[in-house]
Structure 1
Amino acid sequence: MIDLVVYGDFNCPFSALASERVDELERRGIATVEWRAVEHDRGIPAAGVEISGDVAQMLTDELAQIRGLLDRGEPDRLQLPIRQVNTRLAITRYAGAPNESRPELRHEIFASHWQRAERIDDAVVLDDLGAGPANNVAAEEWRAAWQAATDPIVPVLVLPDGYVSRGLGALARLAGLLA
């Protein structure tokens, strides 16, 4: 079993695919993964942005690209959300969850946003998902480590030897571990 670190943002569809692959790696006993949630785009306002126009087209294109990256047997679960959310609250609440609860919570936050169009920037939704109390210190530590490791892109995969793989390369490496 190998130990991996993955950085991803809940509003990024590429991170959502990385999360699905991480779920499968852990389910098969291939790897243990420390998922560190980071806010990739701090420019998204606290209220989020309705998805329309250029944002809708960008996300539609990204979802089409992701569908092209799916390996045989990988489910196509991602749907265009209603809003592009500011993920700061979801990240700090995820960081406050007990370590043993994080894999399921990560899965549920991604599913909530990308499959059920729920507001993961809403404290009540996060409560219902089992998120912990906000832990700003851990979230900022994750962000600092992510920024020190690479250009600000998600997902990022850190291998046991410290090698950093980012973006589509990270997704390909995760898929390769499942092959």
Structure 2
Amino acid sequence: MAYIVYGDFNCPYSYLASLRVDEFVRRGGSGIEWRAVEHDRRLPLTGTPSGAAQGEWARELGEIAEVSRPGEAVPEAPPPVVSNTGAAVAAYAEALTDGLADEVRREIFRAIWVDGRHVSSPYEIRRIVAELMYPQASALDHRYGPDLVMAVDAGRVASGTERRFGATVSVLGGPLTVTGQRRIERWRAEWQGLTPVVPAVVRPDGAVLPGLSGLGRLAELLPVAAPKPVVTADRELAKVT
């Protein structure tokens, strides 16, 4: 059994968990499965100004700053508007079908916590997914042949022209397929049966580590490299003599 991480795109603790999962994979690790959930499904599609809970945001961001490791760029401020992440969760659930789950998870977190984007709209989420499915092309490539078809990484995208344009969520913000819907429902039921907290890290032995304890376990999977020995002047002198 692998580690399982349940996370919410609006949650700064989940953002830090996502950074640690990416770093674990970058170092060659495997065996961590991310499952996206919504901590609060009642958030309006128009968004909620984050200033309405300024004190709570300050406390949460202060906590993740205290537990962050060197090199982990944790946010210092919340996004201006708190998004309804229903469409984001749907896009992530569908991204598993396309083999783009890690990329979609990473880019949605980046859009919210680095760029401060409001991503409640399914069209905004489609834009994020489309940018992953269609690599950026230089204008020079089409200067002399404007009718040339843009390159598509078709080997990683499930069949269907609409999906290749990022339309993996419906215009109402739900998943495009029954498979995606079932994933969302299963993830939420599993998470609610474990804890009301995000992130929630489930160890291979089934133990649940919510919140900061889960972040701590992910940090343990990333041991700090031993410091390089310091060469003193006495040691250098000994080499000479």
TM over 0.5: yes
Q: 2:185 aligns with which of 140, 144, 150?
A: 140
Task: Give the superposition deviation at 1:121.
Answer: 1.3
| 1:94-151 superposed Cα distances (whole Å, 9 cap, x missing partner) | 1111352111110100000011011221222211221633132211110001111x22
Which residue does the alignment assign to 2:50?
A: 51
Higher strand share: 1
Q: Does the 8 Å CA contact 1:157/1:166 hold for their aligned counterparts?
A: yes
Q: Does the 8 Å CA contact 2:45/2:121 hold for their aligned counterparts?
A: no
Which residue does the alignment assign to 1:177?
A: 221
Q: Does the 8 Å CA contact 2:10/2:112 hold for their aligned counterparts?
A: yes
Please say if 1:6 is aligned against 2:50: no
Q: Does the 8 Å CA contact 1:78/1:115 hold for their aligned counterparts?
A: no
Q: Does the 8 Å CA contact 2:8/2:39 hold for their aligned counterparts?
A: yes
Query: How many residues end up aligned between the 2 structures?
Result: 176
**For 1:155-170, what aligned pairs fall within 5 Å after superposition?**
155-170=199-214
Which residue does the alignment assign to 1:88?
A: 86
Task: State how far apart, in whole Å, the 1-side matches of 2:195 and 2:202 are.
Answer: 13
Greater RCO (CA < 8 Å, at least 6 residues apart): 1
Identical pairs, percent: 40
Please say if 1:66 is aligned against 2:64: yes
Structure 2, unmatched stretches of 5+, are 130-165, 170-174, 224-241
Task: State how far apart, in whole Å, the 1-side matches of 2:186 and 2:107 are.
Answer: 23
TM-score by length of 2: 0.68
Q: Residue 26 and residue 143 in structure 1: after superposition, are their counterparts in 2 closer, same or farther (change >3 A)?
A: same
User: Which of 1 and 2 has greater Rg?
Assistant: 2
Structure 1, unmatched stretches of 5+, are none
Q: CA RMSD in A?
A: 1.7
| 1:61-88 superposed Cα distances (whole Å, 9 cap, x missing partner) | 2112111111123223454201111111
Partner SS, residue 35 of structure 1: strand
Letter of the 2:45 counterpart: A
Partner SS, residue 217 of structure 2: helix
Task: State how far apart, in whole Å, the 1-side matches of 2:48 and 2:42 are.
Answer: 11
Which residue does the alignment assign to 2:102?
A: 103
Task: State how far apart, in whole Å, the 1-side matches of 2:208 and 2:188 are.
Answer: 15
Runs of 4+ in 1 over 6 A off after TM superposition: none
Letter of the 1:16 counterpart: Y
Letter of the 1:108 counterpart: E
